[in-house]
Amino acid sequence: MSDWLLSIAGTPQGGLWASLLALLSAIAHAGFGALQKGRHDPWIMRGAIDGWLVVISAPVALFLVPWPTPRTFAILAGALVVHFLYKLAVALAYERAAYTVVYPMIRGTGPLVTVMAAGLLFGERFTPLQWAGLACLSGGMALLALRNMAADAVDPAGARRGLVWALLGGLLVAVYTVYDAWGIRQSPDPFTFLAWFFFITALDFPVLAWVRYRRLGAPGGVASLLRRGLAGALIAWVSFGGVMLATRLHKVGEAAVLRETSTVWAALIGWFILGETVGPRRLILMGLIALGAVIVEFAG
């Protein structure tokens, strides 16, 4: 499998698979975000997800894939730091504002910075029409977040604080997207990088979650927490693994943009599952986001 993936990297076939993986990642990530913001405390929920990630990933990393080189281990150590900061920002944002405020701002900030960084580091170039599509997508996400914040009459001050953390989270999305793309390209075997990535970067939040659980308990029930944590871990493999493979096969910037159609799916999840209201303006903005992604994909 690894040999086949490496053989199609940079080819039209690789580009097609990269697009499919990025879209699959988008759908999965919307569900992943909803799990963290849903029934349980976001810190404890993320700890449960990461705990399951350790359990699932350890056998794969230890017994099913080739062991990382010392260079890959060093890159993975850097990934642990970057992803810890990202998870910290996201937990703080979800703690202070509604899902439909936080999620679009996090995901809207990321692709713009990612595309610029990919241009500098990987020599990728967007056409003028692709830049217009990117502006459409990121602008639609920012407007969606601000519209949702204006509608959050319960705690406007908390929503503003959540928005600040969401902006930081978006910048860290760009950092980890580019860093992970570089890391998986340095690894001789992409699945080695993925397995060890999920194992190592999931070691931190279970500790924080345990401390918080000792203080607050688990409102909503431990059984529900564990079930949702397992679901989140499986979704994480699809979401984060899918986009990392996409960046290995084709352009980092295009994969990042396609993945951010997750905001449309997230808005639908917030509407239908979390009971958050979606009006005509939000539907129009969701259409703008989707249009931007389509332009980026087909104008390249």
Residue 209: its H or E element: helix 205-216
Tell whether 194 is covered by a domain: yes
Residues 6+ apart with CB under 8 A from 182: 75, 121
Q: Does some domain include residue 285?
A: yes
Rounded to 5 degrees, what are φ and ψ at 296?
A: -60, -40
Amino acid at 202: A
Grouping H, G, I as helix, E, B as strand and the rest as coil, residue 300 is coil
Domain that holds residue 263: 11-298
Does a structural domain hold residue 3? no
Q: Residues 86-106: pLDDT tens digits?
A: 999 988 888 877 776 777 778
Q: Which one, of 251, 253, 266, lies nearest residue 26 by Cα?
A: 266
What single-letter DSSP state applies at residue 97? S
pLDDT tens sequence across 207-222: 999 998 888 877 777 8
- Does 33 have pLDDT greater than 70? no
Confidence class of residue 273 from pLDDT cuts 50, 70 and 90?
Answer: low
User: What is the Cβ-side half-sphere exposure of residue 126, based on CA atoms within 13 angstroms?
Assistant: 28
In a domain, 114, yes or no: yes
Residue 184 lies in a domain: yes
pLDDT digits (tens, 9 = 90+) for 54-63: 999 999 999 9
Residue 47 lies in a domain: yes
Residue 5 lies in a domain: no
6 is a domain residue: no
Query: Per-residue pLDDT tens for 104-113?
Result: 778 777 787 8
Q: Look at residue 72 in the predicted model and tell me its pLDDT.
A: 95
Nearest to 144 by CA among 1, 284, 299: 284
How many domains in the chain? 1
Both tokens of residue 59? 């056998």
Q: Are the C-beta atoms of residues 244 and 81 closer than 8 Å to each other?
A: no
The pLDDT value given to residue 300: 63
If you average pLDDT over every residue of the chain, what do you get?
84
Counting residues of the chain whose pLDDT is more than 70, the rounded percentage is: 89
Q: Which of 243, 231, 169 is nearest to 32 (CA)?
A: 231
The pLDDT assigned to 182 comes to 93
Given a contact cutoff of 8 angstroms between Cβ atoms, the answer to whether 74 and 179 are in contact is no
Strands (E), the chain: none
